[in-house]
Amino acid sequence: MELSNVEGDKYRSYLHEEEEKNTKWRYGAPPNYDVVNKLFEEERTKVWPPGSLEEKVQNLVKTWEMEIFHKERLEDFKTIDTKKYVFSLNGKEALTMEGIQKLGGGYNPQLQTSLPEEFRCYDPDKETSESSHRAFTTTFPRGFALEVLKVYTGPPEIVYKFRHWGYNEGPFKGHAPTGELVEFYGMAIFEVDEEMKIVRVEFFYDRGELLGGLLKGAAMDSSALEAASSCPFLRNTG
């Protein structure tokens, strides 16, 4: 289970290699992960030995996440078999790549909800890939770090426990930042084929653990919100 080495990013492949020179990037250029890598290295709770299964799974997940959020064309994906790939959250109906695109992409598939519309602080039915990405890069200016805490089984069905965290240092959906740590834990299953391409992803976590932490701040008026959100760094992401 190998990912190619990447000059400039220690944890993600398929960013700067020669084979990526014709890749169409959603925000115009490859993303820069220097800021979130710093957060990850300073605050991770596990440091996996080089070459270990845990390190390989962690790098695979980070690379998959990068491609999902930043590559615009399906033919540019290297970690996924886009014709077979399905994604599901908390046991909901699995989405194909076409279904993910219809849902808007970005964070929307990962924040699906059955809540009535009036109770949705973040409504994936109304967000686009760009608006969802802007919302989270604004609220997490240092990025949204990910670490793998434990790998229970290796390929072809990888089962692992993870932690996602960041600091609420920018507004979110009309709420002022608190500066507080926001984190959540979850489980995931990644099924890969004989070529180590991902064909199935299942996530299990409580989205309220994330969103609840972003709604603690006081309500902001529209002028303050516009000023705070006017220049998000879309390429510096977790």
> What CATH number is attached to the domain comprising 95?
3.10.450.50
Is residue 11 a part of any domain in this protein? Answer: no
Q: Is residue 53 part of a domain?
A: yes
Is position 68 within any domain? Answer: yes
Alpha helices in the chain (DSSP H): 34-43, 53-70, 97-103, 129-139, 207-214, 222-229
Residue 223 placed within a domain? yes
pLDDT digits (tens, 9 = 90+) for 124-148: 788 888 888 899 999 999 999 999 9
Residue 178 burial by CB count (10 A; 0-12/13-18/19+): exposed, middle or buried?
Answer: middle
Each residue of 4-25: pLDDT tens digit?
444 569 999 999 888 899 999 9
∠142-144-146 over CA atoms, to 5°?
130
Cβ atoms of residues 204 and 162 within 8 Å: no
pLDDT at 126: 87
Neighbour tally for 114: CB within 10 Å: 6
Rounded Cα–Cα distance for residues 51 and 3 (Å) = 11
Token pair for residue 188?
């995931």
User: Tokens 């020669």 appear where?
Assistant: 18
Q: What is the β-pairing status of strands 198-204 and 86-89?
A: parallel
- Structure-token pair, residue 182: 């926001």
pLDDT of residue 8: 64
Domain that holds residue 126: 17-234
Predicted local distance difference test score (pLDDT) of residue 106: 80
- Number of structural domains (the chain) is 1
Q: Alpha carbon of 237 to those of 135, 137, 140, 217: distances in Å? A: 11, 6, 8, 22
What's the pLDDT score for residue 62? 98
Residue 12 belongs to a domain: no
- pLDDT at residue 2, rounded to an integer: 57
Query: What pLDDT was estimated at residue 102?
Result: 86
| Residue 2, in any domain of the structure | no
- 84 in a structural domain: yes
- At residue 230, does pLDDT exceed 70? no
- At residue 38, the pLDDT reads 98
Instruction: Write out pLDDT tens, residues 76-117.
Output: 999 999 999 999 999 999 999 999 988 888 888 888 887 778
For 90, left (φ over 0), alpha (ψ -120 to 50), or beta? left
Q: Which pLDDT value is given to residue 205?
A: 96
pLDDT > 90 fraction of the chain, expressed in percent and rounded: 73
Instruction: Let me know if residue 7 belongs to a domain.
Output: no
Residue 228 has pLDDT above 60, yes or no: no
Residues in CB range of 204: below 8 A, 6 or more apart: 89, 90, 91, 186, 187, 188
Which pLDDT belongs to residue 142? 97
Q: What's the average model confidence in pLDDT over 177-195?
A: 97
Average pLDDT of the residues of the chain: 89
